[in-house]
Chains A and B, each alone.
Chain A
Amino acid sequence: DILMTQSPATLSVSPGERATLSCRASQSVSTSLAWYQQKPGQPPRLLIYDSSTRATGVPDRFSGSGSGTEFSLTISGLQSEDFAVYYCQQHYNWPTFGQGTKVEVK
């Protein structure tokens, strides 16, 4: 299985600032990468698929980029509802997830 590694484990950001989360694959997954947001007590919510395509209803302050083995999720102008855990998932073959990045209030 493809191993997904996210960094950092925790990101402290002030509201209104920009947050950049990283995800690395153990082998190339082309642009087959998705991002999810999970808040406490809730299921994950799809944000991005195909590396950079926003899911329906996702605000444009969320943007994804990358290809091959290196990917990033950028949240521009963090709002209070954006503080959560974010997971990446490769959808190149058998789905595997990163261990998550927690975005917390600085």
Chain B
Amino acid sequence: EVQLVESGGGLVQPGQSLRLSCTISGFTFGDNAVSWVRQAPGKGLECVGFIRTKGTTEYAASVKGRFTISRDGSISTAYLQMNNLKIEDTAIYYCTRVRGSYPRYWFDPWGQGTLVTVSS
């Protein structure tokens, strides 16, 4: 069974950093890309970025230069390093397995998500 479990969310002040983790099972990073998708409270969905099977990454314009996605295959964990956080980064962050062929990606399944709150 494919599963993704996020952790690391919490309350931070604007300008601070936070690192989220996503532990995968049932597939490997060599099989599928992994993406981070966020959902602001009561709002819609935004793809933050993804890391492809070969390890290359792409990011949404809203987070480029501030967020970095990486992975450690030895422990089946992907990371989302978030620097210089802004109030508008407040959201539930979901880790997802990517399906399809680049760039035609859809997402299945999704983890349960971890809440990041940026507030002073």
Size range of the chain B interface in the assembly: 20 to 34
For chain B residues 87-120, which have a beta carbon within 8 Å of chain A?
94, 99-100, 103-113
Say whether B110 contacts A49, CB under 8 Å: no
- B44 CB–A CB distance under 8 Å: yes
The A contact surface, by secondary structure, is loop
- B47 CB–A CB distance under 8 Å: yes
Size range of the chain A interface in the assembly: 20 to 34
Contacts of B44 in A (CB 8 A): 87, 97-100
Contacts of B104 in A (CB 8 A): 32, 91-93
Contacts of B60 in A (CB 8 A): 94
For chain A residues 13-67, which have a beta carbon within 8 Å of chain B?
32, 34, 36, 42-46, 49, 55
7 closest pairs, A vs B, by CB? A43-B110, A46-B108, A97-B45, A34-B106, A95-B47, A91-B106, A91-B104
